[in-house]
Amino acid sequence: MMLQDGSTQLLCLTASSGVPLFTRGAAKQLPFSVIGSLNGVHMFGGGQGVVLSCCETEGGGKVVWRVFRDSVMLIAVGGGGHGGAGGGGKEEEVRLQRLLENVWNCMVLVLGQEELANIRNVERLKRDLRSCFNLIDQLLEERPEGILGNLTHCADSLLPPNPALLKEAVDGFAQAADSEFGCLVVHGRVAAATEKWWRLAPQEVVLLSALTRSLSASGSASCDYPVFLPHGSPTVAHRLLRFQLLPGADVCVLCGPTPSLHRAESGLVGRFWSPLVETLRDCLAVGERCLPASVSLRPDVLALLLINRETRRSVSCVRTPTRHLPTDPPLPSKARCWELLKLLYIFSTTHYFSQEETLCVSPEERAQRVNTEDFVLGFSHQPIQCYLVTEECKSYGLQTAQHQLFLLIPPSVPTFALRTVATQTLSDIVAATGF
């Protein structure tokens, strides 16, 4: 067995000639012969009018293929295995499909579509692609914990205690920087953004948040980074200016040739943000809960993921239960809760709720989605809620016209009460925050 349980390897090759561009993930790289065969079977099928999209083995191993722009072939190989990263079956397939989509968008974000769609110099491309590795590795390792946007394609958000004040500051700051696109990222999640920022494709918002996180992690106070927008501007680069306001709080704007990083940093940051330091601190204090103190969650909610289907935003959190008796069976750990939340999301969206993304879905992606949704399409009536009872915990999924809510609930809560917990949690959050 060449691939360890639970590990994922990503292969990138040129679609036309099968030249390997890079491989990421998994400690041990697959032998070249295997990489060649994996690419070869897909190419062979293509010549016969058969497009190979996915393959599963016993024990949950998965291989997923996808060609982008007839130019780049991405292959993800999941090792499967019990308790592994993704579980088995459809869930793993969806996870890998999303991975390939995100990796491609990531490559476009950094290098632009032109360079990827018309490969002239393979060696140079290989070198250039190295600048994407940081982001790609984050995607592969599903870092940081608690960020679900890569999966949901909804921007991970943090709901600050006083959103109006922050929104105003972001608007003013962006305007002063000659930009309509500005965003405040707190703990890696979007806390406030301009109208136009939300009009970017959901994948772009997610990707830009990831980029901001990764730039912020580098430790610099500010940076000026050229980015291509995979959907909005795949061939013309914009500048992403990022400034650290406080540790854990960054503001960024997408702008044209002006202003210079220096002018923005010295002239604008202080002017707009120093009066708001206390507000920012309050915002940071929200922490991983993502919800302001005004929202009182029921004590029997272990973890939640709430998606606004219209704005394509999400909030999520995992809580440490307060009233857990030592005699009760142990509850899943925090990391396991995040894992379960992701699996519940994929399970519900592949079996019951369609994950329609009205914005910016290319025909090719739509076709891909039909493949993963073949089961959902078989229902004659609309599934609106679902629940699962497992040994570890109970989970509940709920879909309304505007929201999707996913909850993990301790096993001690009676099953018939789950629905009440879910509907009440939804209305509590919406009432308190207008999310």
Partner 1 sequence: MYIKETPYEPGRHLRSADSGLRVVPRARLGTKGDVLVAVDDVDVTTENIERVLSCIPGPTQVRLTLETAAQADGGGSAGDASSARRTKSPPPVSQLVRLLWGEDTAELQMSIGHIPHVVMYLSLKLDSASPQEEEEILYQYPVSEASSQLKGVRGIFLTLCDMLENVTGGKICSSSLVLGKHLVHVGYWKDSNNLLVIGLPAERVPLLYLQTVVGDVVRTLKVMYGSLDSAFCKADHAPRLDHFFCLFFQQLIQPARLRDGSSAPAPDISGTLFLDGLPAVRWLTLPPEIKMEVDTVLSDFESSDFGEMSEDFFGLRRLYVILGSCLFYKSYLIANHLPKEDLLDVCLYCQHYCLLPLASEQRVGQLVIWREVFPQQRASGGGDTAPGYSQPQGRHFLLIVGLRHFMQCVLLEAGGCASPALGSPGPDCVYVDQVKATLLQLEALEAGIKERLNAPPAPCLSCADWFLPAAAARDRLDGRASSSPVFSKLAGAVKGSSSGPRGRSLFGEKSRRSSPQRSLSDSGSEGQMDAGSGSGSSSMAPGFSPHSTPDSARKLGPRRDSLGSDGSGGGGGLFKIPRMKHPNPFYLGTLKKTLTERETEEMYNTMKLTSGAENTLFHYVLMEAVQGIFIAPTHREVAQLSGSIHPQLIRNFHHCCLSIRAAFQQSLPARGRRAADGPRGGGWGLGPVKEHGVLFQCKPENWTDQRKPAPTMTYWVIGRMLLEPVPQEFYVCFHDSVAEVPVEMAFRLSFGLAL
- Interaction residues for partner 1, span 7-66 (CB under 8 A): 30, 34, 37-38, 40-41, 44-45, 48-63
Give Cβ neighbours of residue 314 (< 8 Å, ≥ 6 apart).
Answer: 148, 149, 152, 154, 155, 156, 157, 305, 306, 307, 308
By CB under 8 A, name the one of 29, 175, 279, 423 that touches partner 1.
Answer: 423
Please count the residues of this chain forming the interface with partner 1, following the rule CB under 8 A.
Answer: 82
Give the nearer residue to partner 1 in terms of CB position, either 335 or 389: 389
Give the nearer residue to partner 1 in terms of CB position, either 3 or 185: 3
Give the nearer residue to partner 1 in terms of CB position, either 197 or 338: 338
Q: How far is the CB of 91 from partner 1 (least distance, A)?
A: 6
Give the nearer residue to partner 1 in terms of CB position, either 118 or 380: 380
Q: What mask, x for binding partner 1 by CB under 8 A, covers residues 337 to 376?
A: --xx--xx--x---xx--------------x--xx--xx-
For residue 320, the SS3 value is: coil
By CB under 8 A, name the one of 84, 202, 230, 410 that touches partner 1.
Answer: 84
Give Cβ neighbours of residue 270 (< 8 Å, ≥ 6 apart).
Answer: none
In one-letter notation, the amino acid at residue 128 is D
Whether residue 144 is preceded by a cis peptide bond, meaning omega within 30 degrees of 0, is yes
Residues 370-399 close enough to bind partner 1 by CB under 8 A: 370-371, 374-375, 377-392, 395
Q: Pairing state of beta strands 313-318 and 155-156? A: parallel
Residues 225-244 close enough to bind partner 1 by CB under 8 A: none
Q: How far is the CB of 287 from partner 1 (least distance, A)?
A: 27
Give the nearer residue to partner 1 in terms of CB position, either 266 or 371: 371
Q: How far is the CB of 192 from partner 1 (least distance, A)?
A: 30
In b/e form, how buried is each residue of 333-366, taking b as 16+ CB within 10 angstroms?
A: ebebbbbbbbbbbbbbbbbbbebebeeebeeeee
Give the nearer residue to partner 1 in terms of CB position, either 267 or 411: 411
**Residue 79 contacts partner 1 per CB under 8 A:** yes
238-247, Cβ contacts within 8 angstroms, sequence gap of 24 or more: 240/208, 240/211, 240/212, 241/177, 242/212, 242/215, 242/216, 243/269, 244/216, 244/220, 245/184, 245/269, 245/273, 245/280, 246/277, 246/280, 246/281, 246/284
Q: How far is the CB of 305 from partner 1 (least distance, A)?
A: 15
Give the nearer residue to partner 1 in terms of CB position, either 85 or 108: 85
By CB under 8 A, name the one of 123, 257, 416, 434 that touches partner 1.
Answer: 416
From the list 87-95, 214-222, 309-317, 318-326, the region that binds partner 1 by CB under 8 A is: 87-95
Angstrom CA distances, 143 to 119, 146, 255, 276, 350, stand at 30, 8, 28, 30, 23
Q: How far is the CB of 66 from partner 1 (least distance, A)?
A: 11
- Helices 89-111, 363-372: inter-axial angle, 10-degree rounding: 160
Backbone angles phi, psi at 3, to 5 degrees: -115, 135
- By CB neighbour count within 10 A (0-12 exposed, 13-18 middle, 19+ buried), where does 105 fall? buried
Give the nearer residue to partner 1 in terms of CB position, either 6 or 161: 6
Q: How far is the CB of 189 from partner 1 (least distance, A)?
A: 25
